[in-house]
């Protein structure tokens, strides 16, 4: 009998159907954290017995090809159900009829004669599979791979072959798991019995769901049920910070009717992703960033959603690329696995890590900063100690750090775009392939602007993005600074405004008393004075503003600021304050 004929048959009649030729019992199904390994990696193990086995993958294998995943495993065939309509296609004898039945996809290993019939080529997370094992010995099948937050999709008014994301150490019962779900509560569920047949779960409130096992579950009507605890992220099915994203939201919804505690557990990894979490002070309501501990719990009221903001502390990455797993539990037997990954600011993109590249300073790029001047010396008294002012003066600074770590003070920079180059593809005649990808450029020499294109549209025309400051000026395009950018050390630079420099505050070419000419406007006469500013940035490993942003030390830096100004007054003026610098572009070179 086909399961497609069972849409109107209840559990009492279906329980008598023995499908002994289809599958054998799975004695051991477990999903456990993999030992410390690089990559967003979890280990799933199955003890397969000769004959048919039904499993539920919660990870996509590192190499998802079916042939690679079962290398060394004597499988006769592997099947998965991907329905293309609303009718379940399930038959008694898979060896004879499954390949001809719509909705089923199968794999036959070479050199089996039916290998050419294979239409199942990859394995993926959150999918149930039927595996037929050859031979007479049981063996353990181990899969390493990345989990996925891809949602479950139910076929209405039909049986569904699926598994569930449950805590292997504290699994829920079927009854508790489907409680209050109109489409699933009280509906027939079938599991593999000890004799290798599909048997009805007759006591759903005392029989537990096994992690990694596949079941036939009847869905009456439509439902979006994806577990008692639903987890989602900002994009796709994983939390990937890439090389520039600093924070993301993680939503955890408690769909149960009781209050629970949600627990976040960071699994061991050789290259863990150091995470921070925004927390709120219950008394003051102030929100701050705190390091996420290896295990963290928070209350989740019934039916409510927790919206958590997580940030990556790139300054603490132990390698260019870091990956890990965030396990989330609700205490009711649910567990979801969230892959987390991040790359350092100048790490090569995925797939490019093996290519040779020069070492790039971890702080390379364009930094835009704000100085808050809050202390000035009393020049008329000849004082050398800055005294606190009644108000704060903000100043904008632009600093570029090249791939070698050399810092330059900029007064203006324009972000443009360098188009990539294409060449004929030798493998596909008539088509082109990318030889050099396009990339952003930073321009301080305006003569070079025609060589590039814009990075944003304005009135239908591509234009560049200009950043500038009025806090200082100098004749050159930029000034090289001594020292280095980082969590310690300092940067220093001296800039001078000549007596006739256009932005010298004493000079005015149209004012007879400030044009550096005599009364007849014929001969030079000093009426303005050269002004020199010696500026010093001293970096700190703590944020001067008192904040705890996870970006600190990577794309956010700061410390104390000081300046000595000569020529503006007969006595030197001493200035003090604090500064914060934020990396706004990762381009390591200027004018290229």
- Helix (H) / strand (E) containing 122: none
Based on the structure, what is the number of domains in the chain?
4
Residues 268 and 186 in one domain: no
Residues 449 and 317 in one domain: no
Q: Which of 147-156, 178-187, 517-526 has the lowest mean pLDDT?
A: 517-526
Per-residue pLDDT at 159 exceeds 80: yes
Residues 550 and 522 in one domain: yes
DSSP secondary structure letters along 431-454: -EEEEE--EEEEE--GGGGGGSB-
Tokens standing for residue 571:
């006595």
* Last residue within a domain, chosen from 155, 185, 219: 219
φ and ψ at 68, to 5 degrees?
-75, -40
140: in domain:
yes
Residue 95 confidence (pLDDT) = 47
Q: What would the mean pLDDT of 217-243 be, rounded to a whole number? A: 91
Residue 85 confidence (pLDDT) = 56
Per-residue pLDDT at 403 exceeds 80: yes
Omega before 111 within 30 of 0, i.e. cis = yes
Tokens standing for residue 12:
């009492």
183: in domain:
yes
Percent of the chain with pLDDT over 70: 87
426: in domain:
yes
Per-residue pLDDT at 220 exceeds 90: yes
Per-residue pLDDT at 201 exceeds 80: yes
CA 295 from centre of chain: 20
Per-residue pLDDT at 27 exceeds 60: no
Residue 397 confidence (pLDDT) = 97
Residues 77 and 144 in one domain: yes
Per-residue pLDDT at 3 exceeds 50: no
Tokens standing for residue 27:
């004695």
Q: What would the mean pLDDT of 43-56 be, rounded to a whole number? A: 92
> What rounded mean pLDDT belongs to the chain?
85
Per-residue pLDDT at 375 exceeds 60: yes
Residue 91 confidence (pLDDT) = 43
Residues 147 and 247 in one domain: no
pLDDT band (50, 70, 90) for residue 11: very low
- Helix (H) / strand (E) containing 563: strand 556-566
Q: Which residues of 84-104 are buried (b: 16+ CB within 10 A; e: fewer)?
A: eeebbbbbeebeeebbeeebb
Q: Which residues of 414-429 are buried (b: 16+ CB within 10 A; e: fewer)?
A: bbbbeeeeeeeeeeee
Omega before 448 within 30 of 0, i.e. cis = no
* Last residue within a domain, chosen from 430, 446, 467: 467
Residues 427 and 539 in one domain: no
Residues 82 and 204 in one domain: yes
Residues 401 and 265 in one domain: no
Q: Of the ranges 33-47, 446-460, 566-580, which is most confident?
A: 566-580
Q: What would the mean pLDDT of 131-148 be, rounded to a whole number? A: 93
Per-residue pLDDT at 524 exceeds 80: no
Q: Which residue has the higher pLDDT, 299 or 439?
A: 299
The helix/strand/coil state of 11 is helix
For residue 401, the cross-strand partners are 365, 407
Q: Which residue has the higher pLDDT, 205 or 437?
A: 205
265: in domain:
yes
352: in domain:
no
Distance (Å, whole) CA 236 – CA 146 = 14
Give me the residue label for tokens 């001809």: 100
- Helix (H) / strand (E) containing 94: helix 94-97
Domain span holding position 448: 413-467
- The answer for residues whose C-beta is within 8 angstroms of residue 574's C-beta and 6 or more apart is 376, 377, 383, 384, 385, 386, 562, 563, 564, 565
CB 371 within 8 A of CB 578: yes
Residues 518 and 438 in one domain: no
Strand runs labelled E in 212-293:
215-219, 229-233, 239-240, 247-254, 260-266, 275-280, 287-291
pLDDT band (50, 70, 90) for residue 128: very high
Per-residue pLDDT at 198 exceeds 70: yes
Q: Which of 254, 226, 257, 63 is nearest to 143 (CA)?
A: 63
Q: What would the mean pLDDT of 156-172 be, rounded to a whole number? A: 94
Per-residue pLDDT at 90 exceeds 80: no
pLDDT tens column, 530-566: 899 999 999 999 998 888 899 999 999 999 999 999 9
Residues 316 and 260 in one domain: yes
Q: Which residue has the higher pLDDT, 582 or 193?
A: 582
Residues 137 and 209 in one domain: yes
- The answer for residues whose C-beta is within 8 angstroms of residue 551's C-beta and 6 or more apart is 246, 311, 313, 314, 582
Give me the residue label for tokens 């497609």: 4
Per-residue pLDDT at 29 exceeds 50: no
Tokens standing for residue 235:
């994009």
Per-residue pLDDT at 92 exceeds 50: no
Residue 16 confidence (pLDDT) = 32
Distance (Å, whole) CA 145 – CA 132 = 22
User: What is the 8-class DSSP label of residue 533?
Assistant: E
Residue 569: CB atoms within 10 A of its CB come to 14
Residue 107 confidence (pLDDT) = 94
- The answer for residues whose C-beta is within 8 angstroms of residue 513's C-beta and 6 or more apart is 527
pLDDT band (50, 70, 90) for residue 348: low
Q: What would the mean pLDDT of 78-100 be, rounded to a whole number? A: 61
Residue 153: CB atoms within 10 A of its CB come to 11
358: in domain:
no
Give me the residue label for tokens 């001067």: 544
Q: What would the mean pLDDT of 89-108 be, rounded to a whole number? A: 63
φ and ψ at 326, to 5 degrees?
-105, 115
pLDDT band (50, 70, 90) for residue 44: very high
Q: Which of 416, 320, 408, 414 is nearest to 360 (CA)?
A: 320
pLDDT tens column, 259-305: 999 999 998 777 889 999 999 888 888 889 999 999 999 999 999 99
Give me the CATH number covering residue 248.
2.60.40.10
The helix/strand/coil state of 569 is coil
Distance (Å, whole) CA 453 – CA 438 = 11
pLDDT band (50, 70, 90) for residue 84: low
Give me the torsion for CA of 465, 471, 477, 480, rounded to 10°: -120
Residue 445 confidence (pLDDT) = 92
Residues 80 and 171 in one domain: yes
Per-residue pLDDT at 36 exceeds 50: no
Q: Which of 13-22, 75-84, 206-215, 564-573 has the lowest mean pLDDT?
A: 13-22
* Last residue within a domain, chosen from 219, 248, 267: 219
Distance (Å, whole) CA 276 – CA 288 = 10
Give me the CATH number covering residue 480.
2.40.160
360: in domain:
no
Residue 6 confidence (pLDDT) = 34
pLDDT tens column, 472-521: 999 999 999 999 999 999 999 999 998 888 888 888 777 877 776 777 77
Residue 521 confidence (pLDDT) = 73
Residue 98 confidence (pLDDT) = 62
450: in domain:
yes
């Amino acid at each position: 009998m086909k399961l497609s004929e069972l849409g109107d048959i209840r559990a009492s009649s279906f329980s008598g159907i023995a499908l002994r030729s289809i599958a054998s019992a799975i004695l051991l199904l477990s999903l456990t954290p993999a030992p410390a390994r690089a990559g967003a990696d979890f280990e799933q193990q199955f003890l397969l017995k000769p004959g048919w086995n039904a499993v539920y993958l919660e990870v996509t294998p590192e190499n998802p090809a079916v042939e690679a995943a079962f290398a060394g495993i004597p499988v006769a065939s592997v099947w998965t159900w991907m329905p293309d309509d609303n009718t379940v296609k399930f038959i008694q004898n898979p060896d004879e009829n499954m390949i001809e039945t719509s909705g089923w996809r199968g794999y036959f290993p070479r050199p089996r004669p039916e290998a050419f019939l294979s239409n199942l080529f990859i394995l993926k997370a959150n999918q149930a599979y039927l595996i037929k094992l050859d031979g007479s010995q049981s063996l353990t099948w181990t899969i390493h791979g990345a989990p996925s937050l891809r949602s479950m999709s139910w076929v209405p008014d039909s049986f569904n072959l699926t598994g569930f994301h449950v805590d292997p150490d504290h699994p829920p019962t079927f009854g508790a798991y489907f409680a209050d779900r109109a489409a699933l509560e009280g509906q027939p569920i079938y599991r593999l019995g000890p004799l290798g047949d599909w048997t009805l779960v007759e006591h759903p409130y005392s029989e537990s769901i096994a992690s990694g096992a596949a079941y036939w579950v009847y869905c009456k009507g439509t439902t979006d049920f994806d577990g008692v605890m639903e987890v989602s992220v900002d994009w796709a099915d994983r939390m990937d910070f890439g090389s520039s994203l600093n924070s993301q939201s993680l939503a955890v919804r408690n769909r149960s009717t009781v209050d629970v505690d949600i627990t976040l557990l960071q699994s061991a990894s050789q290259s863990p992703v150091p995470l921070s979490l925004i927390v709120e002070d219950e008394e003051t309501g102030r929100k701050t960033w705190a390091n996420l501990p290896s295990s963290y719990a928070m209350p989740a009221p019934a039916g409510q959603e927790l919206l958590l903001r997580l940030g990556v502390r790139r300054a603490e990455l132990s390698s260019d690329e870091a990956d890990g797993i965030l396990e989330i539990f609700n205490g009711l037997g649910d567990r979801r696995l969230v892959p987390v990954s991040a790359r350092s600011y100048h790490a090569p993109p995925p797939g490019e890590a093996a290519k040779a590249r020069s070492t790039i300073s971890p702080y390379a790029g364009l930094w835009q900063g704000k100085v808050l001047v809050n202390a000035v010396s009393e020049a008329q008294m000849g004082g050398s100690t800055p005294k606190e002012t009644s108000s704060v003066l903000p100043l904008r600074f632009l600093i570029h750090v090249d791939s070698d770590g050399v810092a330059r003070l900029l007064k203006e920079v324009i972000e443009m775009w360098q188009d990539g180059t294409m060449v004929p593809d030798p493998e596909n005649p008539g088509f082109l392939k990318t030889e050099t990808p396009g990339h952003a450029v930073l321009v301080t020499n305006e003569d070079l602007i025609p060589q590039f294109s814009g990075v944003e549209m304005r009135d239908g025309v591509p234009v560049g993005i200009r950043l500038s400051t009025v806090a200082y000026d100098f004749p050159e395009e930029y000034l090289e600074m001594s020292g280095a950018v980082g969590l310690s050390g300092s940067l220093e630079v001296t800039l001078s405004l000549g007596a006739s420099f256009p932005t010298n505050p004493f000079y005015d070419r149209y004012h007879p008393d400030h044009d550096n000419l005599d009364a007849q406007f014929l001969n030079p006469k000093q009426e303005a004075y050269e002004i020199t500013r010696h500026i010093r940035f001293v970096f700190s490993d703590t944020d001067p503003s008192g904040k705890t942003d996870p970006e600190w030390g990577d794309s956010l830096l700061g410390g104390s600021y000081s300046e000595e100004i000569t020529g503006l007054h007969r006595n030197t003026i001493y200035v003090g304050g604090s500064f914060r610098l934020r990396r706004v572009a990762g381009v390591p070179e200027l004018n290229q």
